[in-house]
């Protein structure tokens, strides 16, 4: 027998009423699922890039303020994409650092950087960042020994950048691994100094060779308070026997201020954009 629908009891479709809106919980679940899917997709893309040559290193030159000459460079990884071109590290490295793929990527960075830097002048240092996951993997020291042996790069020319979180880590294994790097002759540089909570005693604990001032400090050099903060950071670094590098130097005014304050080195758009290894080699050939 057919169902008779009376006008007083219209169906939702017949009435044209909108569908129910998702609840906040449902929205959070959808967002979480999308993030998980994107992480998996990016991780898989990175694994494929490692096998197919889809990763490339660029180098941000570091300038000695006294001589005005390049004295080193920081490694910056890029992911080659068929449609989007070169993708900066900020778009994929945070995801890589949540997976063991970061260990293979870090090994590739060290191997590539050391092999390329071995052909550059003997005074030239290469800086590369260390992830917490790689540090805690137990594979770092072995990887580094193999890379240095294969490339022939003297260990003192490879500077490993660590974070304040690593410096303040109470885990004995973390401190042991960092000291093992120093035992190989590899200097440690503290990245993003001035934005965290690293104390002077913590800096002395590992005999850091270089303090890298965070770019946010450099952006505030137009203000008297900003100058005072940077000056204090530079003086503290020198008191500990560290070189002080400024990250993110973008203007002549910033360069002049940093020189007056006594910073030792710096990098940023004012000096040079990141360049490929071939451009670095050509720069040395011309010099």
Give tens-digit pLDDT for 108-153.
Answer: 999 999 999 999 999 999 999 999 999 988 899 999 999 999 999 9
Is pLDDT of 56 > 90?
yes
Is pLDDT of 1 > 50?
no
pLDDT band at 286 (very low <50, low <70, confident <90, very high): low
What residue ranges define each of the domains in the chain, with the CATH number in brackets?
Answer: 56-286 (3.20.20.450)
pLDDT band at 260 (very low <50, low <70, confident <90, very high): very high
Q: What is the pLDDT of residue 199?
A: 61
d(CA 270, CA 284): 19
Q: What is the pLDDT of residue 6?
A: 44
Q: What is the pLDDT of residue 225?
A: 94
Each residue of 11-42: pLDDT tens digit? Answer: 555 556 677 788 877 778 778 777 777 778 88
Q: What average pLDDT does this structure show over 169-188? A: 88
Is pLDDT of 196 > 90?
no
Q: What is the pLDDT of residue 170?
A: 67
Among 49-53, 248-252, 274-278, the range with the most confident prediction by mean pLDDT is 248-252
d(CA 43, CA 28): 22
Is pLDDT of 158 > 80?
yes
């Amino acid at each position: 027998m057919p169902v008779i629908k009376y006008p007083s009891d219209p169906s939702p479709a017949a009435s044209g009423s909108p569908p129910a809106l998702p609840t906040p919980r449902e929205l959070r679940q959808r967002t979480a699922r999308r993030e998980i899917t994107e992480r998996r997709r990016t991780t898989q893309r990175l694994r494929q890039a490692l096998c197919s040559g889809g990763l490339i290193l660029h180098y941000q030159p570091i300038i000695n303020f006294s001589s005005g000459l390049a004295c080193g460079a920081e490694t910056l990884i890029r992911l080659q994409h068929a449609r989007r071109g070169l993708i900066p590290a900020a778009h994929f490295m945070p995801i890589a650092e949540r997976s063991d793929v970061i260990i293979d990527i870090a090994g590739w960075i060290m191997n590539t950087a050391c092999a390329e830097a071995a052909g550059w002048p003997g005074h030239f240092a290469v800086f590369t960042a260390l992830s917490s996951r790689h540090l805690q993997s137990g594979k770092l020291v072995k990887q580094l020994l193999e890379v240095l042996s294969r490339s022939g790069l003297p260990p003192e020319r490879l500077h490993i950048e660590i974070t304040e979180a690593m410096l303040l880590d109470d885990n004995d294994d973390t401190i042991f691994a960092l000291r093992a790097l120093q035992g190989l002759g590899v200097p440690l540089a503290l990245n993003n100094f001035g934005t965290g909570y690293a104390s002077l005693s913590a800096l002395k604990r590992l005999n850091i060779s270089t303090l890298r001032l965070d770019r946010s400090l450099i952006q505030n050099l137009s203000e008297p308070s900003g100058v005072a903060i940077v000056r204090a950071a530079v003086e503290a670094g020198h008191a500990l026997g560290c070189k002080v590098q400024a990250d993110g130097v973008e203007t002549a005014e910033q360069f002049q201020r940093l020189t007056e304050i006594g910073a030792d080195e710096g990098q940023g758009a004012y000096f040079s954009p990141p360049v490929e290894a071939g451009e670095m080699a050509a720069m040395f050939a011309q010099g």
